[in-house]
A and B are shown apart, each in its own frame.
Chain A
Amino acid sequence: MSETSLRTDPGVSGIPRRSVLAAAAAGGGALAGSALLTGCSGAASASPAEAVPSRGPAGRPDRGGTLRIARPPASDAETLDPASALSAYEYLGALYNRLVRVGEDGKVAPDLAESWEPDDAARTWTFRLRRGVTFHDGSAFTSADAAYTLRHILATATASPQGPVLAPLVDPKRLRTPDPHTLVIPLKSPHAEFPSLLTHYNCYVVPDGSAKSIGRTGIGTGPFKLASFASAGPGRVVAYGDHWAGRPVLDAIDFFSVADMQARANALLAGQVDLLSQTNLDFATARVIAASSRATIARSKNAQWYVLPMLTTEKPFTDVRVRQAMKLAYDPEHIRKVALQGAGTLGWDNPVPPSDPTHIAAHPAHDPEQARHLLKRAGHERLAVDLYTSSYDPIFTPMALAYQESAARAGIRVRVKTAAADSYYTQIWMKKPLMATYWYTGRPVDQLLNQVFRSGSSYNETAWSDKEFDALLDRARRETGEGRRRELYGQAQTLIVDRGGAITPMFADRLTGISRKVRGYAEHGFEFDYLGIGLKGA
């Protein structure tokens, strides 16, 4: 669905689930294949969560070498234009820089912009840009390129998923470049968290006037420059010696597109590739890889959050008491044990990850008695609901079954129904009142809350509409005091937990397959360290 076919649809673009094709292609055959491999490896005895290592190989890489990455293609029509919904995600971080990125602490960190500040009302933002930065074609990076990048994202012809996010705030005609190293962005309405919206992976900086060619040339300021690229095919990037932050450790990276997840795992096991990108391995396959002599597993902590969205426009979830009961009824610890084999962080129905500075930890406790009581008051004493799941992701069905079991103790009868994986996000998501899904973490809090929970947003999968919540978000945007703003985002989270439609049992680690030779692998959210990654004995 999304990335591959919905080309002009800003709603269901690449943001939430990058590896759509990949996961959908991993059908029954792949699962059976992985189970078979597990059987053969004889590593089935230990508890899976324990058998899978918690971090990749430690130590420093040697200089040089070529890293081979297997990746799921975004589409047969994928492009190197970062703003496009069909961008080849892995190339972006290697070829380009953004003005700002997300640091490991969840805060906005400098990239091509060295500093940025708002005016008193957070209505105008001024970005001071790094000097001495050159594009791969030798031309100097200036504020004109930065301004052009924003205009390119906002152009309707680009159909960028980040366009609708920025359009209500930024008027492309009013961007100012007083000197080559200053970009001034006047906003249509105040926004104290505006820079966080530029950390999105659609916001990589491209050269002035490059809209027509950027999809093929990939000219950026990043640590690698393009050697070759084929849509849904192989490609290569080589170290850019003049990169502003220094030369990367590696000499080159080869990217190979492999749509089938099991095929990707096989390529790693056979030593044909060194890293599987955008691939959350199921536990069985992860154990096989961890047990092999060539490869192992690295974890991205809390890389995705799992959710059972209740459509608040569909009965019985129109009643807030029923939604509260559905949340109080289940034991998240039980779901974590069953679906994640114990490895993950409890969500307590709050989608903001614990690493985010605004995250609030307070939540109502698991209380099946109170759930019964609420249902009785709402006139749904013997509540029975359908919960949809699919083989799209290996966690969905165990999560649904664990919820079913847990909720049964509060007297809720859940019927788990399995739907086809390839049409799951067109036929089930946002159509059925209750289903299983997930999102990648890594969005800044303002974008997360506004895109997934605000009234009318095209990503609002619970169709929740709460005036108080929307008003809180607006106030937070206008609030220039950081502490006060954090409080407002905290209150917004409390409203989601108390009244919203999203049952969020847990955050799960992403299990990434890497070769035992890889050193310095670091990935969090949508940030991948291409500068520091390398190979031992390259």
Chain B
Amino acid sequence: MRGVFTFIVRRVVAAFGTLLLSSVMVFLAVQALPGDVATQVLGKDATPDAVAALRKQMGLDQPAWERYFDWIKGALHGDFGTSLVTTKPVGGEVAQYLGNSALIAVVTVLFAVTGSLVLGVLAGLYRDRWPDHVISTVSLVGMSIPEFVVATLLVLAFSVTVPVLPAVVLYGPGAGTGQLLPAVWLPAASLAIVMAAYIVRMARTSVIDVMASEYVTTARLKGLSTWRVVTRHALPGALLPTLHVIALNVAWLVGGVAVVENVFNYPGIGKLLLTSVQNRDLPVIQAIALISAVVYVICNLAADLGSMALNPKLRTRGGSVR
């Protein structure tokens, strides 16, 4: 039991370390953007007085490390500063967009994970027979096509040819869930298709590995039904490596939405990120980058802890080894 505890503590500490490091890197990266930030915001014809005033207002006259600690201190309290463009608090703005993105993310993950696990297991069980060929080919194609192309094809099919779903979202960030819901399906489908491909491949491989393992052979020799062998013995073993892929893919979603949301004009975090980069709205960029890092770290942490829960070997590591 002590082993489990140390393992968890070690992972959580590592996660915090990663976060701290990424916060430093985010901060430095934004500092390193070409040109003085104040000049960037005011434009090249700004008077030196205006630039000096803005630098002071933005706190740019303070040393970098002091600004970093101010930023982190604020961020821990949910205060990410004010947007240079809208002059509203960044935290509230980002939260609103993040909520909209979460809607896509939840739908995507539900579809991608359940769908691809089923398909992956099927492909693994019917290895080298036609269901496997069909599933593998389709998922390989899905894996090779970038998400914006998938998105465009989906728009062509479901908005232009057979107009059942909206091609773009015409509402702003303040739109309600009811307004956004019809617009969620196409972006979620584009992301799910690309994401599913990886999970299908991984689930298939693990199922094949597990089905060839000795303990499955033993279970079969004991005379258990195929259904029982698959659900009780093969699946938990096969899920383990797949879990990591799922976690990484959920983390990838954070980047994937940036592209897909812009194709669909969906008022989510990805669209906000793109606009902010174009506007050089630095506090917003910093906040989104940091939040993305948090999502990444949490996903990985969850994957690690999850695999520990599923894998007795990891669970007992550090304990008595026979």
Chain A residues close to B by CB (< 8 Å):
1-2, 4-12, 21, 24-25, 29-30, 32-33, 36-37, 40, 70, 75-77, 230-234, 256-260, 262-264, 266-267, 269-273, 292, 422-423, 426-427, 430, 458
Contacts and interface: CB of A to CB of B under 8 A. Distances in A.
A342 B262 CA distance: 32
Nearest to A427: B34
**Considering residues B44, B50, B274, which has the most beta carbons from chain A within 10 angstroms of its beta carbon?**
B44
Interface string B273-284: 011011111000
Contacts of A1: 43, 278
Interface string B150-185: 011101100110010011101111100000000000
25 contacts: A1-B278, A5-B40, A8-B43, A9-B42, A9-B46, A11-B44, A11-B45, A12-B43, A21-B278, A24-B278, A25-B274, A29-B262, A30-B263, A32-B148, A37-B152, A37-B156, A233-B171, A233-B172, A259-B262, A259-B275, A263-B264, A266-B159, A272-B159, A422-B277, A422-B278
**Considering residues A2, A40, A272, A430, which has the most beta carbons from chain B within 10 angstroms of its beta carbon?**
A272
Contacts of A8: 42-43, 46, 50
B291 interface: no
A32 B149 contact: yes
Contact of A234 (B170, B274, B281): B170
B171 A266 contact: no
A27 B171 CA distance: 22
Contacts of B42: 6-9
B210 interface: no
**Considering residues A9, A29, A76, A458, which has the most beta carbons from chain B within 10 angstroms of its beta carbon?**
A76
A77 B87 contact: yes
Given A24-B278, A258-B265, 20 more contacts: A1-B278, A4-B279, A6-B43, A7-B42, A9-B44, A11-B43, A12-B45, A29-B146, A29-B148, A29-B262, A30-B263, A33-B152, A70-B170, A230-B174, A233-B171, A262-B152, A263-B263, A269-B159, A272-B159, A426-B44
B285 to A, nearest CB: 13
Contact of A272 (B148, B168, B262, B281): B168
Contacts of A76: 83, 85-86, 275, 279, 281
A428 B262 CA distance: 26
Given A4-B85, A40-B156, A263-B264, A25 B149 contact: no
B174 A233 contact: yes
B295 interface: no
Nearest to A267: B168
Contacts of B223: none
B191 interface: no
A527 B159 CA distance: 32
A426 B85 CA distance: 17
A522 to B, nearest CB: 25
10 A-B pairs with least C-beta separation: A233-B172, A9-B43, A6-B43, A270-B167, A11-B45, A270-B159, A29-B148, A256-B170, A266-B167, A33-B152
B259 interface: yes
Contact of B172 (A4, A6, A37, A234): A234
Nearest to B159: A270
A458 B87 contact: no
B271 interface: yes
Contacts of B149: 32-33, 36
Nearest to B33: A423
B86 A426 contact: no
Nearest to B276: A76
A21 B166 CA distance: 23
B30 interface: no
B48 interface: no
A270 B163 contact: yes
Contacts of A232: 172
Given A25-B274, A233-B172, A9 B263 contact: no
A234 B171 contact: yes
A258 B152 contact: no
Contacts of B85: 4-5, 75-77
Nearest to B279: A4
B35 interface: yes
B281 to A, nearest CB: 8
A526 B152 CA distance: 32
B72 interface: no
Contacts of A29: 146, 148, 259, 262-263
B278 A25 contact: yes
B310 interface: no
A12 B44 contact: yes
Interface string B110-124: 000000000000000
A340 to B, nearest CB: 26
A263 B166 CA distance: 11
A25 B163 contact: no
A176 to B, nearest CB: 32
A262 B278 contact: no
B41 interface: yes
Nearest to B259: A29
B267 to A, nearest CB: 8
Contacts of B168: 258, 263-264, 266-267, 270, 272
**Considering residues B35, B171, B172, B265, which has the most beta carbons from chain A within 10 angstroms of its beta carbon?**
B265
Contact of B263 (A257, A262, A273, A458): A262
A20 to B, nearest CB: 8
**Considering residues B170, B259, B263, B274, which has the most beta carbons from chain A within 10 angstroms of its beta carbon?**
B170
B141 to A, nearest CB: 15
A267 to B, nearest CB: 4
A191 B170 CA distance: 46
Contacts of A426: 35, 40, 43-44
Contact of B271 (A256, A259, A292): A259
Contact of B265 (A5, A263, A458): A263
Contacts of A37: 152, 156
